[in-house]
Amino acid sequence: MEIKLSPSILSADFANLSRDVKTAVDAGAEYVHVDVMDGHFVPNITIGAPVVKALRKETDAVLDVHLMISDPDKYLDDFIAAGSDIITVHYESNGDTAGQLKKIRAAGVRAAVVIKPKTPVADIVPLLPLCDMVLVMTVEPGFGGQGFIPECMDKIRELRKAISDGGFPCELEIDGGAKLTNTADIVAAGADVIVAGSAVFGGDIADNVRKFHEVFRTGAERAEWVK
């Protein structure tokens, strides 16, 4: 299983966003994670579809767009048109999550659902056939730089098992608190896409990306024998 890194631009230098994204992608980051917050679903406001559109012109990297917004139905068209490669909707947002996933896929964009730390995995298992990726929040959404919630490790294992049992071609992403020090354990639990914000954009970006890939190689070997 190939493990992928999705650096969260929330911790990048917004005044030099293109430069920071290119540095991460040139160093080998497979995805670029874009955190969209509306100040309502979460207590913070970040960026919207115009920034996705601007990034689309700057990079061919996979734009992994995480919508932390109350009403995805109002904005899905904008994020599709902006050039998102993956759009992730919260199960806890308003509207019909299954319908949202179908709409994203019908537009030729990869569809994903995400759950907050307190939402049970069982709630989204019925949605797996509609998903190209599922995301487990490992911090409460809203801010970068928080600590990984240890109880979430079991949710990663549970979701990995549900994906394997059903034979779904669905990636399992985690988001929040991933560091070089805990990533091998996260990968061993079954995650195959790691979002990391502060641990990538804090300090030497290229060096951090390379170090995550080093950890993935070690972690991936361990993941083989925990299956």
Q: Least distance from C-beta 190 to ligand DX5, angstroms? A: 19
The CB-of-225 to Zn ion minimum distance in angstroms stands at 30
Q: Give the contacts of 128 (CB within 8 A, at least 6 positions apart).
A: 134, 162, 163, 166, 168, 170
How far is it, in rounded angstroms, from Cα 31 to Cα 197?
12
Q: How far is the CB of 207 from ligand DX5 (least distance, A)?
A: 16
35 among known catalytic residues: yes
Cα gap 213→67, rounded to integer Å = 26
Candidates 3, 5, 10, 80: give the one binding ligand DX5 (CB under 6 A): 10
Binding mask 158-197 for ligand DX5 (x = CB under 6 A): -----------------xxxx----------------xxx
177 interface partner picked from ligand DX5, Zn ion, none, CB below 5 to 8 A per type:
ligand DX5
**85 catalytic per annotation:** no
Residue pair 66/34 in contact by the 8 Å Cβ criterion: yes
* Member of 61, 82, 191, 199 binding ligand DX5 (CB under 6 A): 199
The binder of 91, among ligand DX5, Zn ion, none, by C-beta within 5 to 8 A per type, is none
Decide: is 4 part of the binding site for ligand DX5 (CB under 6 A). Answer: no
With CB atoms as reference, the residue minimizing the distance to ligand DX5 is 197
Q: Mask: binding to ligand DX5, 112-141, rule CB under 6 A, as x and -?
A: ---------------------------x-x
So which residues are the catalytic ones? 35, 175
Site for ligand DX5, rule CB under 6 A: 8, 10-11, 33, 35, 66, 139, 141-146, 175-178, 195-199
